[in-house]
Amino acid sequence: MDPREKLLKDLQIGCGKARPVKAPKGSQLHCKGWYQEAALRMLCNNLDPDNGENPDALIVYGGLGKAARNWDCFDAIVRTLLDLENDETLLVQSGKPVGVLKTHTSAPRVLIANANIVPHWANWDYFHELDKKGLIMYGQMTAGSWIYIGTQGILQGTYETFAALGQKHYGADLTGKIVVTAGLGGMGGAQPLSVTMANGVALCIEIDPSRIAKRLEKRYLDVAAGDLDQAIAMARQAADQRRPLSIGLCANVGDILPAMMDKKFIPDVITDQTSAHDELNGYFPRGISFEDALKLRKSDPDTYKEMALNSMAEHVRAILAMKDKGAVAFDYGNNLRAQAMKKGVDNAMDYPGFVPAYIRELFCRGEGPFRWAALSGDPEDIKVTDEALIQLFPKKTKMINWLKMAEEKIEHMGLPSRICWLGYGEREKAGKLFNDLVREGKVKAPIVIGRDHLDCGSVASPFRETEAMKDGSDAVADWALLNCMTNVASGATWVSFHDGGGVGIGYALHAGQVTVADGTDEAENRVTTVLRNDPGTGIIRHADAGYETAIDVANDKGVKLPMINMYGAHSGNV
């Protein structure tokens, strides 16, 4: 059978209902070029049941984060990508394919805009109105931009955060320390493994038993406890023995934190990754069972939202109380503090977000979540890329340790993939290396290179990536737009721009890019240009805000910064 026809059949295109989707694998093309093929495979990969959290509803992760607006739109995107010419560009508006334009061969093959609402109206209520009318879709970050790679995608960043926390507060790793957190969803599920990788003990509260089961099965979580007393006993014993352990506890975090305080149990570290950014579809209020909450969401959303926000206020009060008793508290990028402020917790910001606390210095060096996937579907290809990277950067011992640990501990979900934080200059070299591996036939099919939208230059998010910027420019979103336009101009294969993401509608604007290394000279040019300029905007953004490290990196590595006055008083170097 013709491969195109076979694919349409395999993906049950036109069946009009939800179905399990698996990305095509191997070196056989179904589209008219690898760029379109890559977009098609990565869209399918986001919805792979091993990968996405609720693929029947097209939800990939992070509350409502979707890959396509509905199944008809999914079908239409697949059909359009199959027919898309090498000089055409598909436009996707909030998960719906809306047009194909004649552009040119070096242009992106897909341009995506998700959940963008004119700022005055950019809030959840208005979003839900538009959603009901079928006019919009929540794209989260990598869900609607087709570069989600399962929980691994956030694993290294989460590990880096806990490792940096250990270094900053204990002068070492997390040996003998207990971290309490909640949420074992798509992203939060990375927490237990990250804490144990940093040698600590994680006690993770999750209300949905299926999420605990999934993390146990995928070996992100070690054990489940039957109740709070057992969980505390297990955590204390492991910490006393200086043994890494992750424990899941099926409960509502809103009930558990006050119960911990009653039992005089104060963890060393307290944080949270429930989907607090979305009070309707992401966070479960206390005082109601999981099943009843799911029903109430549908039958009386207003009451649900009120209950959820009130619970979040109590949740943050408990975190603040634990902090007062000596716990290290930090916000893990889910907007929990701002939600609690809506219900009168005026001092919610008394504990910091994770970016200013642990990540900003990395952003100043252009470091961020570089990730790639093997379109062949063969895990051997990822091994080849891991080994090649180790040879390319033999002095990066932290990276080498990470890649070895990842190889050993991480089960691939969907298409085999890898994440690895790389800095300015390094990403470009890694991109060329991967393109060479494809060119030389060392891997079996092209490699897709992308990143999270949580990166150094791509996002404006005052309660997360741009919290507490040195010059007060936290809410200036020009930077995210400049990053998006830079990626289009540099020849990324697909580029996206979203509102919302990890902190919810109205709180963040951010851009994504994905670029395909298919072994050709053209791909080498695109990959190196994108991977130089994309983190380059991060250096520029942080240099402009006055961060010395970013200015030094710009000067060392030749990122041109125009001088603003004749005395060179600004950070400029040209």
Q: Which residues are catalytic?
A: 420
Interaction of residue 275 with ligand NAD, rule CB under 6 A: yes
Please select the residue that binds ligand NAD; options are 274, 385, 461, 528, rule is CB under 6 A: 274
Interaction of residue 502 with ligand NAD, rule CB under 6 A: yes
Contact yes or no for 40/31 (Cβ under 8 A): yes
Contact yes or no for 274/253 (Cβ under 8 A): yes
Q: Give the angle 143-542-468 at the CA atoms, nearest 5°.
A: 80
Q: How far is CA 500 from CA 105, 158, 394, 452, 465, in A?
A: 31, 20, 38, 14, 13
Cβ at position 21, least distance to ligand NAD in Å: 18
Interaction of residue 270 with ligand NAD, rule CB under 6 A: no
Question: Which residue, 53 or 524, has its beta carbon nearer to ligand NAD?
Answer: 53
Cβ at position 275, least distance to ligand NAD in Å: 4
- As a whole number of angstroms, the distance between CA 363 and CA 379 comes to 30
Q: How far is CA 360 from CA 446, 487, 532, 550, in A?
A: 33, 22, 19, 10
Q: Select the span of 248-256, 396-404, 476-484, 556-564 touching ligand NAD (CB under 6 A).
A: 248-256
Question: Which residue, 152 or 275, has its beta carbon nearer to ligand NAD?
Answer: 275
Question: Which residue, 183 or 536, has its beta carbon nearer to ligand NAD?
Answer: 183
Contacting residues for 460 by C-beta, under 8 A, at least 6 apart:
466, 474, 475, 476, 477, 478, 479, 480, 508, 509, 510
Interaction of residue 454 with ligand NAD, rule CB under 6 A: yes
- As a whole number of angstroms, the distance between CA 361 and CA 500 comes to 24
- As a whole number of angstroms, the distance between CA 333 and CA 420 comes to 20
Please select the residue that binds ligand NAD; options are 149, 207, 235, 523, rule is CB under 6 A: 207
- As a whole number of angstroms, the distance between CA 42 and CA 371 comes to 13
Q: How deeply is 418 buried, as exposed, middle or buried, from its count of CB atoms within 10 A (0-12, 13-18, 19+)?
A: buried
Q: Select the span of 272-280, 426-434, 547-555, 560-568 touching ligand NAD (CB under 6 A).
A: 272-280
Please select the residue that binds ligand NAD; options are 55, 97, 176, 186, rule is CB under 6 A: 186
Interaction of residue 505 with ligand NAD, rule CB under 6 A: no
Cβ at position 274, least distance to ligand NAD in Å: 4
Task: For residue 429, count other CB atoms closer than 10 A to its CB.
Answer: 16
Interaction of residue 153 with ligand NAD, rule CB under 6 A: no
User: 323-362 mask for ligand NAD (x: CB under 6 A)?
Assistant: ---------xxx----------------------------
**Strand duo 245-250 + 201-206: pairing:** parallel
Interaction of residue 182 with ligand NAD, rule CB under 6 A: yes
Interaction of residue 144 with ligand NAD, rule CB under 6 A: no
Q: How far is CA 142 from CA 60, 65, 98, 392, in A?
A: 9, 8, 20, 28
Q: Select the span of 178-186, 194-202, 427-435, 519-527 touching ligand NAD (CB under 6 A).
A: 178-186
Contact yes or no for 130/162 (Cβ under 8 A): no
Rounded to the nearest 10 degrees, the angle between the axes of helix 152-170 and helix 397-409 is 130
Please select the residue that binds ligand NAD; options are 55, 282, 462, 538, rule is CB under 6 A: 282
Contact yes or no for 271/181 (Cβ under 8 A): yes
What stretch of H or E contains 373?
strand 368-374
Number of residues that bind ligand NAD (CB under 6 A): 34
Interaction of residue 206 with ligand NAD, rule CB under 6 A: yes
Interaction of residue 418 with ligand NAD, rule CB under 6 A: no
Interaction of residue 195 with ligand NAD, rule CB under 6 A: no
Question: Which residue, 7 or 115, has its beta carbon nearer to ligand NAD?
Answer: 115
Cβ at position 29, least distance to ligand NAD in Å: 32
Interaction of residue 431 with ligand NAD, rule CB under 6 A: no
Q: How far is CA 157 from CA 187, 371, 483, in A?
A: 10, 11, 21
Work out the end-to-end distance of the chain between its first and last CA atoms, rounded to an integer number of angstroms: 59
Interaction of residue 239 with ligand NAD, rule CB under 6 A: no
Q: Select the span of 57-65, 90-98, 298-306, 319-327 touching ligand NAD (CB under 6 A).
A: 57-65
What stretch of H or E contains 299?
helix 290-299
Cβ at position 376, least distance to ligand NAD in Å: 27
Please name every residue paired with 112 in a beta bridge, in sequence order, or none if there are none.
92, 496
Interaction of residue 137 with ligand NAD, rule CB under 6 A: no
Q: Give the angle 148-475-46 at the CA atoms, nearest 5°.
A: 10
Contact yes or no for 469/545 (Cβ under 8 A): yes
**One-character DSSP codes across 172-229:** S--TT-EEEEE--STTGGGHHHHHHHTT-EEEEEES-HHHHHHHHHTTS--EEESSHH
- As a whole number of angstroms, the distance between CA 57 and CA 54 comes to 6
Question: Which residue, 273 or 458, has its beta carbon nearer to ligand NAD?
Answer: 273
Interaction of residue 52 with ligand NAD, rule CB under 6 A: no
Please select the residue that binds ligand NAD; options are 145, 273, 483, 487, rule is CB under 6 A: 273
Interaction of residue 247 with ligand NAD, rule CB under 6 A: no
Please select the residue that binds ligand NAD; options are 42, 45, 46, 53, rule is CB under 6 A: 53
Interaction of residue 317 with ligand NAD, rule CB under 6 A: no
Interaction of residue 63 with ligand NAD, rule CB under 6 A: yes
SS3 content of the chain, % helix, strand, coil (to 5): 45, 15, 40
Question: Which residue, 22 or 453, has its beta carbon nearer to ligand NAD?
Answer: 453
Please select the residue that binds ligand NAD; options are 146, 284, 372, 421, rule is CB under 6 A: 284
Interaction of residue 283 with ligand NAD, rule CB under 6 A: yes
Q: Select the span of 13-21, 179-187, 194-202, 430-438 touching ligand NAD (CB under 6 A).
A: 179-187
Cβ at position 500, least distance to ligand NAD in Å: 9
Residues lying near ligand NAD in the complex (CB under 6 A): 53, 61-63, 154, 157, 182-188, 205-208, 211, 252-254, 273-277, 282-284, 332-334, 454, 502
